[in-house]
Amino acid sequence: CVVGFVNLFCFFLRVFCPTGLRYSAACEDAVTDTANKRRHQGLKDPHPGTPACRRTDAHGPTRGACGDAGLRGSNAQVCGRPQLKDRIVGGVDALNGAWPWQIDIQKDNAHICGGSLITQDWVLSAAHCFPNPSDLSSYTLYIGRYQLNGFNQYELTRSVTRIVIPSGYQDPNSGKDIALLQLSSSVSWNNFVQPVCLPASGTLFPSGMSCYVTGWGNIREDVALSGIGTLQEVQVPIISQTSCQEMYQTDPVEQVDILFDMICAGYQEGGKDSCQGDSGGPLVCSMVNGTWVQAGVVSFGLGCAKQNRPGVYTRLTSYSEFIRSTIPEIQLYGGARRSVCGCVVVLASCLSVFLMLTQR
């Protein structure tokens, strides 16, 4: 009876909260725990063929026996799931294909900014990379690129047909530093060209969460990435808005306001950071189900990797509606029909109490 009730609850969870992977995982953990206890007691498992750690998304069971989960776009491609797993200041060479959403944005055949592939037709970057959004012809986007000056077997090239920037944008310090770029033609997915997931407004990136920044920017202040220019990666923790604001107020001469639509990452002591040329690139974090979700867009900082000067990024959870209104078909990580989903979360709490009582 308990297992049947739990499975019924899981069914409604999947229907009404299709992208609520956190709740779905908790629900199926309850099913697994109950089923394991039944086996221990010599009772029959009503679903003997079901993998114990299977999870679902909005389109049914995910790939892999243990929940290879990620959100799917309209083309059924899973976002935030690199198929190949194996400079930024203080960073190291990334593996080819490790960050398949990374974009090289060039103007007049010179690297100026990074970006991230979010659908087959759209790229995310920073508004300050495009001082004249109507000047489209001078920009070229390289997708699937690994080395700036080397041979890239899997790269694709696209021009830009449209640049969308929030109304009222002035400069990075004033916020709204985000840009959406529409590609001249759709890209095809392969192991080296895949989209990153974007967060819904309620997705949390808590202080201390370990994330990665990638790009081809300077490896030190005023020192460009040399040689073949291999894509760099650096691991940085999220810094709370309060702590970040306090750090930027230590120098009374150079103070910066950390606004609501900004998120910080880095180290108080410095040493690891994004730098010039990394602008527009992604700050990505691995969520509990292993999906990579982009938390921020490289925006600005005072110098590079300096003490009390962590990197400042555009907080993407503040722009969920802007992104959704521009790209209606996009699916955001953690997005759900909140009114119904909220009720389901309450039911989840009641179910937890019910399960505890029935196991006593």
DSSP character for 158?
Answer: E
Catalytic, 279? Answer: yes
Catalytic residue among 116, 125, 279, 318: 279
The one catalytic residue in 57, 121, 177, 261 is: 177
Kindly give, in sequence order, each residue whose CB lies less than 8 Å from that of residue 29, ignoring residues fewer than 6 positions away: none
Q: What is the dihedral of CA 312, 316, 321, 323, to 10 degrees?
A: 100
| Cα separations in angstroms, 357 against 70, 268, 351 | 34, 47, 10
**DSSP conformation class of 60:** E
Report phi then psi at 26, rounded to 5: -65, -40
Q: Smallest Cα–Cα separation from 259: which of 293, 234, 296, 292?
A: 296
Q: How far apart are the first and last CA of the chain?
A: 15
Whole-number Å distance between alpha carbons of 283 and 289 = 18
Give me the DSSP letters along 200-257: -TT----TT-EEEEEES--SBTTB---TT-BPEEEEEEEE-HHHHHHHHTSSSSS---
Q: Catalytic: which of 24, 111, 121, 128?
A: 128
Query: Cα(53)–Cα(69) distance, rounded to whole angstroms?
Result: 11
> Is the distance from CB of 287 to CB of 243 less than 8 angstroms?
no
d(CA 58, CA 75): 13
Catalytically active residues, by annotation = 128, 177, 279
